[in-house]
Amino acid sequence: MPDLIVLTWEQVDRLVASLAESVGRNYDVVLAISRGGLVPAGMLAYRLDLREILVASVEFYRSDGSMHDAPQFLHFPDAVLLNGRRVLVVDEVWETGETMTAVLTRVRDAGGHVSSAVLHYKPGRSRVAGHPDHWADEVEDWIRYPYKAGA
């Protein structure tokens, strides 16, 4: 069973700083995957001097820890906000990769030029081809972020 890593705000800030260096500044808009990606997306947007942050509300893991068969889109930005734009999609973790992959597909379908960024990449748990374009750390353990309930 994987260990639990409990992160501090300072550690999250260092991860975001590392991610910002990797990502660069060649984007028009940040698209945060809610809920977990909201905080890192906001922190990253500050570091990249991007003021426009869109939100994709997606549920894959239920509150009880079980999973849907596929990511469920609860809200997604209108295609006009993505078409022809350089979009950086941000989430806190690439675990199975299915949520990020579904969001990337929708952005591409809307005409956006897209890249993915996560704080943590778990290659041993990924169930999709490929990997994030940018990640700050590679782990297999469970992560508890300081902004999540019960942290």
- For the whole prediction, is pTM greater than 0.75? yes
Predicted local distance difference test score (pLDDT) of residue 71: 84
**b/e code 7-43 from CB counts within 10 Å (16+ = b):** beeeebeebbeebbeebeeebebbbbbeebbbbbbeb
Predicted local distance difference test score (pLDDT) of residue 70: 80
Per-residue pLDDT of the chain (151 residues; tens, 9 = 90+): 678 999 999 999 999 999 999 999 999 999 999 999 999 999 999 999 999 999 999 987 666 666 667 888 999 999 999 999 999 999 999 999 999 999 999 999 999 999 999 999 999 999 999 999 999 999 999 999 999 866 5
Backbone angles phi, psi at 86, to 5 degrees: -90, 110
What topology is assigned to 4-144 in CATH? Rossmann fold (3.40.50)
Predicted local distance difference test score (pLDDT) of residue 61: 67
Q: Where are the domains of the chain?
A: 4-144
